[in-house]
Structure 1
């Protein structure tokens, strides 16, 4: 091959090099090219392309240099920021201290943050009119989760929010329901230990909600006096962890909140309430209170209670076999039951094999 036909990376036009940069972690781009030569230094510093910052597995010295060269001087270009390194929040050179200058920031993920930094973080976010996605995962107990939630609900452009805040001390504190202060959030994921009234109060702030995921509802999932369920006219997708919730409590929230949903994902592990195995209860709940449901996905793990026949094959649970009526066949929802050994005992998993209804 003639030597003049061979093209090295540095010989590519700027437009192609920028396309390559888009496919790489920006820290790797910085490490590889920032000090390579004047051309690449200028390509990085003079570009108008948005920057996605991911601060996870880097040393403290690497971060401090990265902060000085890129983060502090390019805040107007940063549209995504992921902080998952514990040491970062406590530094003088922390992005949290200058978040209000990130005028193009659209997505923020803060993982393993200590609770003492949360209030300042949210104060910084109030001026960000482009922030549409927020994830907060705390490292320790959060004493003022209600205040934190109310500040989050004031963010003007937020449409996606995921919260995982340890809040054992606030378990009995109820955030006031609202009738005049609403959030634009459409997708909400809550991984907190909340009872039913706390859930109702939080949901009163998000009338535009379309997707809801409750990962850790409280074992004391009960409705307190003077609380009532909000109206969620746009809710279509729900994901629930029902490990510690009785079927009666689950039925209550379905009747109060889920009349419009189209998709339901449920995960149940070692719940001793046999009502979850009763197909007739499910049929009544779906037909009368979730009439628009088109996707029903269930995964129920529990201790096996089966016996064996003369050939030592398991005899399946009679309750589980009931999920074969005309209701399930008409909707084309089908299920399977699997048994497996675990230590000295055995387990069974009842799960959807075809959760989608074909129109």
Structure 2
């Protein structure tokens, strides 16, 4: 059969299309075509994803509700409500009951806190409710009661609750430890509101089938072991913690109370406690509690102000380079911006200079420092980037530096002098020779003569406008072996290669360079062939290879 028009398509095709569209879009797209499509949108076989989005137009929202009320409730597959306009009126118009026989996904945002228990009582009749997300901008006075109602939903596998800080300090009374007949089917639980350890223990006693847990703010620092209760969650493979209050000693006590088989562990901490940088203690905790762990993510953020300069780390330096961390390929990055330093542990990811898969990567030399702000003195009288770098150096040496903001050339050189172990430098913005003041040629010459040896071998430049940008770095970093350029900025690739390859032949300071990689948005095999011909015909290089990988041209020579 030859299909010439959309009307000749089978209903099965439209069933598949409808599964990826919200009902409002379906109604707008199809209801005015012809009688067939007007009828089709009401067929009992169709399943709809319905979205009531935030809008300041109350009439439009109510009009959407009226349109939705015309379909059969058993056609609704998912429902998302993202508006606080007449919120209670909107929710009451749905009147959740067993007629929503196919509703599996429900998202309710900006709820009034007092309406949540009422809705949850209705949801008990939904036979296929699989996923539930509830968000309120208010405080939950007794979130123990809310969780008890949620745990009564018979088929729920995913639950997320977001709220302001709760005032319920007696959740262990409103939600007692679960009995064997009270366990739920929930496999993924996201507690996006402050929850202390006692409260967490009571919640988790209902969820032995839990596989993924994410919770916020263990907001106590209990160290009395006598009051803690151990709990088994043998199905739990992924755990994520965010906290602004928990000291490391308390966290260690918490983790020792659980028994589970974690594969992924993530922790995000915002508190001053140098113990979070103690790699040896982390090693003992992870080996003791999570012997099967495959992925470890840790973010420890240290905030400072003008009256509190970054303190030097008092423990052993370079501990995150031990065999334990290298074997697991869990690497350390440090990020500096405005008023904080963030130390991050994460699994190894390929970096910009690691294009050769045959080349062995030395993960013991993988520590990266990322600078998002280099002019802290604009905000603080006593703090400068030098204070932050000294604090970082007390924790570990730095192998790779990435600067994501414009930087004055004098400050760049000062930073490079502070980091003598650097092997690579990545500049995602330009260096300035004009601001905050103009740098004269004689001043640069004096700098070149006075700086200590810089050992950088790999250079990334986001954009170059002229050849002297590269010449500058080859002068201060004479050991550079490879350069990556992300944007030539109106410079012709043929002219650029002629110029730089000619200088390689004629100038001593280019002699270590062996690899150029340049991203060209428009590149094909014809251009590669033409570049090869230019190099050969003009005797610019003897022993070389040139190839492209997607948008990047790689030119390598011996």
Is the alpha carbon distance of 1:276 and 1:258 closer, same or farther for their aligned partners in structure 2, counting shifts above 3 Å? Answer: farther
Is the alpha carbon distance of 1:132 and 1:77 closer, same or farther for their aligned partners in structure 2, counting shifts above 3 Å? Answer: same
1:188 equivalent in structure 2: 189
1:110 equivalent in structure 2: 108
Q: Is the contact between residue 18 and residue 46 of structure 2 (CA under 8 Å) also seen in structure 1?
A: no
Superposed counterparts of 1:95-134, under 5 Å: 95-134=93-132
Q: Deviations over 1:259-295 (max 9, x none)?
A: 42111011123x1111100001101101112111111
Task: Tell whether 2:267 aligns with 1:272.
Answer: no
Task: Tell whether 2:345 aligns with 1:352.
Answer: yes
Moved more, 213-222 or 51-60: 213-222
C-alpha displacement of 1:123: 0.9
Q: Deviations over 1:70-97 (max 9, x none)?
A: 3453211112111111125321773442
Q: Is the contact between residue 105 and residue 128 of structure 1 (CA under 8 Å) also seen in structure 2?
A: yes
CA distance in 1, matches of 2:132, 2:91: 21
Q: Deviations over 1:208-227 (max 9, x none)?
A: 11111012322456779766
Give the CA RMSD over aligned residues.
2.9
TM-score normalised to structure 2 length:
0.56
Select 2:64's aligned residue among 42, 66, 70.
66
CA distance in 2, matches of 1:222, 1:85: 43
Q: Is the contact between residue 171 and residue 194 of structure 1 (CA under 8 Å) also seen in structure 2?
A: no
Q: Is the contact between residue 178 and residue 204 of structure 1 (CA under 8 Å) also seen in structure 2?
A: yes
CA distance in 2, matches of 1:253, 1:108: 33
Q: Deviations over 1:329-352 (max 9, x none)?
A: 1222222223x341xx5x322213
Moved more, 53-62 or 216-225: 216-225
C-alpha displacement of 1:103: 1.4
SS at match of 1:121: helix
CA distance in 2, matches of 1:96, 1:355: 48
Is the alpha carbon distance of 1:136 and 1:93 closer, same or farther for their aligned partners in structure 2, counting shifts above 3 Å? Answer: closer
Superposed counterparts of 1:233-272, under 5 Å: 233-269=234-270, 271-272=271-272
Moved more, 271-280 or 69-78: 69-78
CA distance in 2, matches of 1:265, 1:355: 15
Is the alpha carbon distance of 1:78 and 1:225 closer, same or farther for their aligned partners in structure 2, counting shifts above 3 Å? Answer: farther
CA distance in 1, matches of 2:123, 2:28: 29
Task: Tell whether 2:323 aligns with 1:326.
Answer: yes
Q: Is the contact between residue 190 and residue 216 of structure 1 (CA under 8 Å) also seen in structure 2?
A: no
1:312 equivalent in structure 2: none
C-alpha displacement of 1:15: 4.3
SS at match of 1:116: helix
2:283 equivalent in structure 1: 283
Q: Which runs of 5+ in 2 are unaligned?
A: 350-558
1:40 equivalent in structure 2: 37
Superposed counterparts of 1:85-164, under 5 Å: 85-91=83-89, 94-164=92-162
CA distance in 2, matches of 1:103, 1:222: 48
SS at match of 2:276: helix
1:311 equivalent in structure 2: none
Q: Deviations over 1:160-198 (max 9, x none)?
A: 111113353213442211123111111111012221111
C-alpha displacement of 1:205: 0.6
Task: Tell whether 2:221 aligns with 1:228.
Answer: no
Mark the structure with the bigger radius of gyration.
2
TM-score normalised to structure 1 length:
0.84
2:292 equivalent in structure 1: 292
Q: When the two structures are aligned, how many residues end up with a matched partner?
A: 340
CA distance in 2, matches of 1:319, 1:97: 62
CA distance in 1, matches of 2:278, 2:246: 16
Is the alpha carbon distance of 1:171 and 1:350 closer, same or farther for their aligned partners in structure 2, counting shifts above 3 Å? Answer: same
Is the alpha carbon distance of 1:348 and 1:139 closer, same or farther for their aligned partners in structure 2, counting shifts above 3 Å? Answer: closer
1:198 equivalent in structure 2: 199
